[in-house]
Amino acid sequence: MQDAGVTVAPIRILDAAPRALVGESPVWDEATGRLWWVDIRAPALHRTDPATGATETWPLAEPVGSLGLCRSGAVLLALRSGIHRFDPTDGTLDLLAAPERDRPANRLNDGKVSPEGRFLVGSMDDRPEKAATGALWRLDPGARDCALLADGLIVSNGLAWSPDGRTLWHSDSRASVIWTWRYDPATGAATDRREVARPDAATGRPDGAAMDAEGGYWSAGVSAGRLNRWMPDGRLDRVIKLPVAAPTMPCFGGPGLRTLFVTSLRPADGRATPRDGTLLALDPGIAGVPVGRFAD
């Protein structure tokens, strides 16, 4: 696949923040001006001040795939055992739903709160040799069971919504495919899945993602050390090279949502760089779309 608009943007490395094994799920908290994120493999929830890198950390007892902020100030955590409501003031966990009790080889992975306040989360086969046992789930406010939106996935990833909230973007990292769905904010239904792109490893297998105000989908190219901006017509519009081998997810934050924060992991396949596992911050030249808060 031919690159379009490959750039090397000025990038700030938040060296004072913890260096993760598998950093993931950055979420901007506009109320506090802090960035929430997780480390999947050294399980912890982090909250970082991007100005200084100073970080508060809550260790967790099991792998955590993603998080979502709640309107109450609590945090949703997608742990291996299910979706929990976490109170950062006292450290209590309340299990809300366990959609995959019958899939012991799986764990929950990428998740995000929809613009209207639902939590969507996907799963993945956590074994080295992966099968298509993953799924995409939706948790509605007040519910204790999840609705199944899609099945037969290997590594569900890349959730983001268009600026009008009516198109859901979604990917499978291991199958290396990006889709869009027609999304109904009134019901949370996702229908009419459409394939947008199948990037190869050199372009970047699609990991976590974020949406900008023009409808561009910023996907972490985890196999290629870069961010890819995809358009709804399947065009690769822009590429930003990064100083890490394996970026995992971007998130818009900061004043006016004009900063892209990016988490990363430390690869074990010989691609290591000195900055792997760090948090990055850069100016992509465009504002992002706010991420919703769970209506708890």
DSSP the chain: ---SSEE---EEE-TTSPPPSBEEEEEEETTTTEEEEEETTTTEEEEE-TTT--EEEEE-SS-EEEEEEBTTS-EEEEETTEEEEEETTTTEEEEEE-TTTT-TTEEEEEEEE-TTS-EEEEEEE-SSS--S-EEEEEE-TT-SSPEEEEEEESBEEEEEE-TTS-EEEEEETTTTEEEEEEE-TTT--EEEEEEEE---TTT--EEEEEEBTTS-EEEEETTTTEEEEE-TTS-EEEEEE-SSS-EEEEEEESGGG-EEEEEEB--SSS---TTTT--EEE--SS-BPPPP-B--
Q: How confident is the model at residue 7 (pLDDT cuts 50, 70, 90)?
A: confident
Q: What confidence score (pLDDT) does residue 269 get?
A: 78
pLDDT at 73 over 70: yes
Residue 4: the pLDDT is: 64
Residue 2 confidence (pLDDT) = 46
Q: Residue 215 above 70 pLDDT?
A: yes
Does 6 have pLDDT greater than 90? no
- Which of the residues 125, 126, 207, 276 is marked catalytic? 207
Domain contains 98: yes
Q: Is residue 293 part of a domain?
A: no
* Domain assignment of residue 296, yes or no: no
Position 187 scores a pLDDT of 98
Active site residue 110: no
Q: Provide the pLDDT confidence category of residue 268 given band limits of 50, 70 and 90.
A: confident
pLDDT digits (tens, 9 = 90+) for 158-172: 999 999 999 999 999
Say what the pLDDT of residue 3 is: 52
Q: Does any domain span residue 292? A: no
Residue 1's pLDDT is what? Answer: 45
Q: Supply the mean pLDDT for the chain.
A: 96
Per-residue pLDDT, averaged over 73-89, amounts to 97
247 within domain boundaries: yes
- Residue 195 maps to a domain: yes
Q: How confident is the model at residue 8 (pLDDT cuts 50, 70, 90)?
A: low
289 is a domain residue: no
- At 123-169, the pLDDT tens digits run 999 999 999 999 999 999 999 999 999 999 999 999 999 999 999 99
Which residue, chain included where needed, has tokens 């972490």?
Answer: 220
Domain of residue 149, CATH code: 2.120.10.30
Contacts of 104 (CB under 8 A, 6+ apart): none
Q: Residue 133 falls within a domain, yes or no?
A: yes
How many domains is the chain built from? 1
Q: Which domain holds residue 191?
A: 6-282
List of residues 6+ apart from 73 with CB closer than 8 A: 88, 89
Summarised one tens digit per residue, pLDDT across range 28-68 is 999 999 999 999 999 999 999 999 999 999 999 999 999 99
